[in-house]
């Protein structure tokens, strides 16, 4: 073989090798957390409900939602995030894991997690980082930018100095959001979105692969629900309670509340 042909053969082999490696990395990265069916909490034994606030850490709306959940006979706790909730999401994941561990140690058969806005991303990171699928019976998210929000993306590119750590982590394509691949299939998950969302943009960012996805306007045509109104809106509350019910997630007959 001539030197020129030998060099060409080596180049082709390198291209093939790089392609195989890249494809392999993509496949591995999309598998999501492995789940042992025998380690999953029993779906008919609901336990403590942990509510995770969103970016900024405000608990007001979730405290009202927690009251509605307690009215059904469930224990519900609204978590307090580290700092103002704009720091590294890893710290918020730790808060959730500590609360789940404490609830299980106190005798709860499982935990259900309700994540509002960025709180839903925290729930997903908890699933993939801390074996949350073995602790959570159910996850319900409201207006969560599970595929990133263009609002954060614009801040990163235009005013990076005004975009704290969590803001950068919620920008489309961030390393944290790439971690979420497969989490929606690891645990029964209901993701609720609203067409009027002005924070998690576009609203379809809340459509999560593997989850049961529903738009407020799909069950209540004409409803106007902003991002901040999600935790207290009656129709959204009704959907959350359906998602937390002992049986499988079933939205049959859901409508305006």
Residue 34 has a pLDDT of 52
* Gap between the Cα atoms of 78 and 92, Å rounded: 13
pLDDT score for 21: 31
Q: What is the pLDDT of residue 28?
A: 33
User: Which pLDDT does position 15 carry in this prediction?
Assistant: 35
Q: Give the 3-state secondary structure of residue 138.
A: strand
Q: Are 205 and 146 in contact (CB under 8 A)?
A: yes
17 pLDDT more than 50: no
Could you please report the per-residue DSSP string of 156-209? HHH-GGG--HHHHHTSTT-HHHHHTTTHHHHS-EEEEE-TT-SSSSSGGGG--T
pLDDT band at 40 (very low <50, low <70, confident <90, very high): confident
Q: Which range, of 33-42, 76-85, 174-183, 216-225, averages the lowest pLDDT?
A: 33-42
pTM (2 d.p.): 0.85
pLDDT at 5 over 70: no
- How high is the mean pLDDT of the chain? 88
Joined tokens for residue 58: 């405000």
Q: Is the pLDDT of residue 131 over 80?
A: yes
Residue 43 CA: distances (Å) to CA of 8, 76, 136, 208: 59, 17, 10, 21
Mean pLDDT of 102-126: 97
> What percent of the chain is predicted at pLDDT more than 90?
82
What is the pLDDT averaged over residues 109-123?
97
Q: Which of 249, 232, 257 is nearest to 69 (CA)?
A: 232
Predicted pLDDT of residue 20: 32
Q: Which has more pLDDT, 42 or 228? A: 228
pLDDT of residue 18: 32
Taking only the tens place, the pLDDT of each residue in 74-112 is 999 999 999 999 999 999 999 999 999 999 999 999 999
Helices 118-129, 89-105: inter-axial angle, 10-degree rounding: 70
- CA–CA dist 155, 240 (Å, integer): 31
Q: What is the pLDDT of residues 139-166, one digit of tens each?
A: 999 999 999 999 999 999 999 999 999 9
Which residues contact residue 131 at a Cβ distance below 8 angstroms, ignoring those fewer than 6 apart?
Answer: 33
Residue 19, pLDDT > 80, answer: no
Going 239 to 244 to 249 to 250, the CA torsion angle's sign is: negative
3-state helix, strand, coil in the chain (%, to 5): 45, 10, 45
């Amino acid at each position: 073989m001539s030197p020129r042909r030998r060099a060409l053969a080596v180049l082709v082999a390198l291209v093939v090798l790089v392609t195989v490696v890249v494809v392999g990395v993509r496949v591995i990265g999309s598998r999501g957390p492995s789940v042992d069916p025998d380690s999953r909490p029993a779906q008919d034994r609901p336990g403590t409900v942990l509510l995770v606030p969103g970016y900024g850490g405000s608990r007001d709306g979730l405290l009202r939602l927690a009251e509605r959940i307690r009215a059904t006979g469930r224990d519900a706790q609204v978590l307090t995030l580290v700092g103002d909730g704009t720091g590294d999401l890893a710290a918020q994941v730790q808060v959730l894991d500590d609360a789940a561990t404490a609830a299980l140690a106190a005798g709860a058969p499982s935990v259900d997690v309700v994540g509002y806005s960025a709180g839903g991303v925290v729930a997903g990171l908890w699933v993939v980082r801390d074996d949350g699928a073995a602790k959570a019976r159910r996850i319900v998210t409201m207006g969560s930018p599970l595929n990133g929000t263009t609002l954060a993306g614009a801040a990163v590119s235009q005013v990076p100095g005004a975009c704290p750590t969590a803001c950068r982590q919620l920008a489309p394509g961030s390393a944290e959001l790439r971690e979420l691949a497969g989490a929606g299939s690891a645990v029964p998950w209901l993701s609720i979105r609203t067409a009027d969302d002005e924070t998690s943009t576009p609203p379809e960012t809340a459509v999560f692969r593997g989850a049961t996805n529903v738009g407020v306007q799909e069950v209540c045509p004409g409803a106007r629900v902003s991002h901040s109104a999600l935790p207290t809106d009656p129709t959204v509350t009704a959907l959350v309670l359906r998602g937390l019910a002992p049986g499988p997630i079933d939205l049959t007959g859901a409508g305006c509340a």
